[in-house]
A and B are shown apart, each in its own frame.
Chain A
Amino acid sequence: MNWFPIYYREILLFQRRLLRLGYVVSALFAPLLYLLAFGLGLGKRVTLPGISYLDYLLPGLIAMTSMTNSYTWVANGLTVGRLHFRTFQVYVQSPVTPAAIMVGQTLAGLTRGLFAALIILTLGLALGSRLHLEPIFLLALLLNCALFAAFGVIVGMRSRSHEDTATFTNFFIMPMAFFCGTFFPVNEMPWPIPYLIQALPLTHTNHLLRWPAYTTDSLISLAVLLAYLIACFTVGMKIIDRYGE
């Protein structure tokens, strides 16, 4: 499977954009704002049983940042590359399989999401937060990046304009960022919201990043993330396979 050229291209583009300060700042502005405003400001007034608010907030921000960055990179890149610059058509006219395109795009989104998450993680640790950096923490983070990058492929391939991508973001990504336990515990919300929230992948990432223990709950959360990844990957691959103009 010849996925590497697709990944290589995306990473070259990522490198070029990294050199632009404005690009990095805009990509990380929102999570940094949340970390400073909520973590340092609100954090001193809010208390949670057995944990400081900053310790509670940081894993949520890492999950949210990795989600938005993985998703946005792939969804926007594909939408613009397919509809405006028509660079996606180069892949379609090259002897690579839909699976290879999917792997290349997903890994590129994963790399981007991981990069953003590491910046937030480093800053949070520098501010005095304590995290449990277990292997299961890293596994959950990787799965989170991969599944939202794969979801980004679906959105990027389905969007008929840049506005369509923004609509998907507003209806799927933004609500998850706020209601999946990033900023506050969700189990005290009115019925049936906690049950609905349990079905969303970011809830499980938040759970695994906050309590990275090898328990039944954690294994269920890992299985949920994996199932979402497989589903998004399969759907994305089918859409690429059926692509035609």
Chain B
Amino acid sequence: MITTHDLTKIYGKVTALDGLTLEIPRGEIFGLLGPNGAGKTTTIKILTTLARPTRGWATIHGFNVVTQRLEVKRLIGVCPQELNLDRELTAFENLKIYGMLHRVPDLKRRIRDLLELGGLAERARDPVKGFSGGMQRRLLILRALVSRPQVLFLDEPTVGLDPQVRRQLWNLIQDFKAEGITVVLTTHYIEEAELLADRVGILSRGKLIALDRPAALVANLGGYAVESTCNGRRSYHLVKDKSEAVTCSLGEDEEVLIRPVNLEDVFIKLTGERLSP
């Protein structure tokens, strides 16, 4: 169980995170959704002991992330947004050092199994600097798994990857749920959050503005979105049902797109801005 209460982080005059209060039960895949600068990475940094909150507190399985850092670090695995692997070392060495830091028993076997799982077994002895971006991203996730974490933090794990690799990683993340691992996932990809997360929290300018199952958030909004472009101006309407959508689209001269509402529509409705860049 992850619990945060009034979690706040202020950098100078900027409030990066503003009073985050939530509970994430064991075994849940929790998606933190928001545009760049919404406070997602700050939340991850605090929960993984890399940053200290200005106000409020957070616990992971009852251990405080500020006062019981060592206990927290024994429970977590972290896949950061940046590819912070040792590029001059091999894939095997990168995992080995991480495993040694976490005192993982039977480390060689664990590494071998993980490299098999991630499809990198044949490249185990190659320096990471020769890996593609997708391979490095996979290795980063595997590294976070070496210590058999009870809670896994994935900060924008699929950013910059091509769709095929992204789907491979989604399958991998879904497997974690079967193993009972709690996953905290930040993303600004709508389909990623909808597909993977049991619940999502939407952050905007440091504040949590919505928290529910993706389907429930979408259902609350209801219906369809009608998007059209006329003389270069984009118009956007939310309507209750398909017939209303068709009626709405009749007045438009240009191409009209009618589609079921999604999490992005929820985000636009709540904040007035788009989620994807």
Contact = CB atoms under 8 A, between A and B. Distances in A.
Interface of A: 2, 4-6, 8-9, 12-13, 16-17, 85-87, 89-97, 244-245
Interface stretch (B84-92, B177-185, B228-236, B249-257): B84-92
A86 B88 CA distance: 14
Interface residues of B, number: 26
A12 B93 contact: yes
B100 A86 contact: no
A244 B101 contact: no
Given A13-B86, A13-B89, A86-B80, A94 B98 contact: yes
Contacts of A89: 50, 80, 84
B263 interface: no
A87 B140 CA distance: 12
A245 B45 contact: yes
Contact of A87 (B45, B51, B84): B84
Contacts of B102: 94-95
Interface in B13-72: 45, 48-52, 70
A87 B84 CA distance: 5
Contacts of B85: 87
Contacts of A94: 73, 98, 101-102
A95 B101 contact: yes
B78 interface: yes
A93 B48 contact: yes
B83 to A, nearest CB: 9
Interface of B: 45, 48-52, 70, 73-74, 76, 78, 80, 82, 84-89, 93, 97-98, 100-103
A23 to B, nearest CB: 11
Contacts of A2: 100-101, 103
B233 to A, nearest CB: 42
Contacts of B97: 5, 8-9, 12
B86 A8 contact: no
A91 B52 CA distance: 16
B101 A96 contact: yes
B84 A85 contact: yes
Among A16, A17, A85, A244, the most chain B Cβ lie within 10 Å of the Cβ of A244
A-B pairs, top 5 by smallest CB distance, nearest first, are: A5-B100, A94-B101, A86-B84, A95-B73, A244-B52
A90 B89 contact: no
Nearest to B85: A87
B96 to A, nearest CB: 8
B101 A5 contact: yes
A4 B101 CA distance: 8
A89 B45 CA distance: 10
A93 B89 contact: no
A90 B45 contact: no
B159 to A, nearest CB: 15
Contacts of A87: 84-86
Contact of B50 (A4, A13, A92): A92
B234 to A, nearest CB: 38
A104 B52 CA distance: 25
Nearest to B82: A86
B88 A16 contact: yes
Contacts of A92: 49-50
Contact of B70 (A90, A95, A245): A95
Contacts of B45: 245
B78 A93 contact: yes
A91 B70 CA distance: 11
A243 to B, nearest CB: 8
B76 A93 contact: yes
A93 B102 CA distance: 10
Nearest to B71: A95
Contacts of B100: 2, 4-5, 8
A101 B236 CA distance: 54
B63 to A, nearest CB: 11
Contacts of B98: 90, 94
Nearest to A86: B84
